Amino acid sequence: MRMELTGHAVIVTGSSSGIGAAVARRLAGLGAGIVVNSARSAEAGRRVAAELADAVYVQGDIGAPGTAAALVAAAQQRWGRLDGLVNNAGRTVDVPLQDFASVTADHWDQVLRTNVVGTFLVSQAALPLLRAAPDGWIVNITSLAGMRQTGSSLPHAVSKAAVNHLTTIMARFAGGGVRVNAVAPGLVATPWTADWADRKAAVERAAPLHRVATPDDIAEACLAVIATRYATGQTFLVDGGLGLMI
């Protein structure tokens, strides 16, 4: 199956590296114009945008005032439309999941502000144009950590559970035929997990598919969800079967 996205416009948040960059490349390869975004790594974001056939780069923290509107305005100005939004930007804190004593209110604020509030704000700003599109859609990148008792930190895990639920509520009430789904990866080899040799070895041992994911595995799952035109409110777990073992 090959989707045709020529003439479509898509925002991919957090697309300067890892999963977001892979998703941006795959969507651009199918013909879509892409708004590439990151908060800090502007040079890397500009590089990703420059290698795509038709893209603009917008620097901005998705949780900060004004970024959501700037992302949507960039699509509107360049292509006069918006067909899709991939809410991929996310962060965690360096506190093990079970170390409740070390989690601070500041950790919660940082992680929820990006992963939940930022995801919501960009979706909110995008919805009017997505409703006007012939087949508007949102894909939220969540996590196995939002569905099982695992993951990089407690705030990250809880934030991803929140976005899985946000996905169902937005799917119910988005209107305009806009589909809202989530893709929930297990462990993916990206800059985020570059130092996780032990955890990767554990996944390779335990998961039925005996490997960690590549960013492109997750991009493929996003394409499958985007191409599945009669599904909404779903979370697609893409974890090599790891969740079966936890």
Ligand X SMILES: NC(=O)c1ccc[n+]([C@@H]2O[C@H](COP(=O)([O-])OP(=O)(O)OC[C@H]3O[C@@H](n4cnc5c(N)ncnc54)[C@H](OP(=O)(O)O)[C@@H]3O)[C@@H](O)[C@H]2O)c1
CA torsion, ordered 241, 189, 8, 172, to nearest 10 deg? 40
* Nearest CB to ligand X, comparing residues 46 and 131: 46
Instruction: Name the β-bridge partners of 235.
Output: 182
Strand 235-238, strand 137-141: pairing: unpaired
How many residues touch ligand X under the rule CB under 6 A: the total is: 31
Q: For the CA atoms of the chain, what is the radius of gyration?
A: 17
17 binds ligand X (CB under 6 A): yes
Interface with ligand X (CB under 6 A), residue from 41, 76, 228, 234: 41
Chain CA centroid to CA 26, Å: 14
88 binds ligand X (CB under 6 A): yes
240 binds ligand X (CB under 6 A): no
Contact track, ligand X, 186-215, x by CB under 6 A = -xx-xxxx----------------------
167 binds ligand X (CB under 6 A): no
Instruction: Name the minimum Å distance from CB 175 to ligand X.
Output: 26
Side by side, the strands of the sheet bearing 84-87 are 55-59, 33-38, 9-12, 84-87, 137-141, 179-185, 235-238
178 binds ligand X (CB under 6 A): no
Residue 131's nearest CA partner among 68, 164, 173, 183 is 173
235 binds ligand X (CB under 6 A): no
Interface with ligand X (CB under 6 A), residue from 33, 84, 185, 240: 185
Instruction: Name the minimum Å distance from CB 197 to ligand X.
Output: 13
* Nearest CB to ligand X, comparing residues 40 and 172: 40
Are 199 and 193 spatial neighbours (Cβ–Cβ below 8 Å)? yes
110 binds ligand X (CB under 6 A): no
Are 111 and 153 spatial neighbours (Cβ–Cβ below 8 Å)? yes
228 binds ligand X (CB under 6 A): no
Mapped onto helix, strand or coil, the DSSP state of residue 77 is helix
Are 36 and 62 spatial neighbours (Cβ–Cβ below 8 Å)? no
141 binds ligand X (CB under 6 A): yes
20 binds ligand X (CB under 6 A): yes
CA torsion, ordered 10, 53, 143, 216, to nearest 10 deg? 150
16 binds ligand X (CB under 6 A): yes
Contact residues for ligand X, defined by CB under 6 A: 13-20, 37-41, 61-63, 88-91, 114, 118, 141, 143, 185, 187-188, 190-193
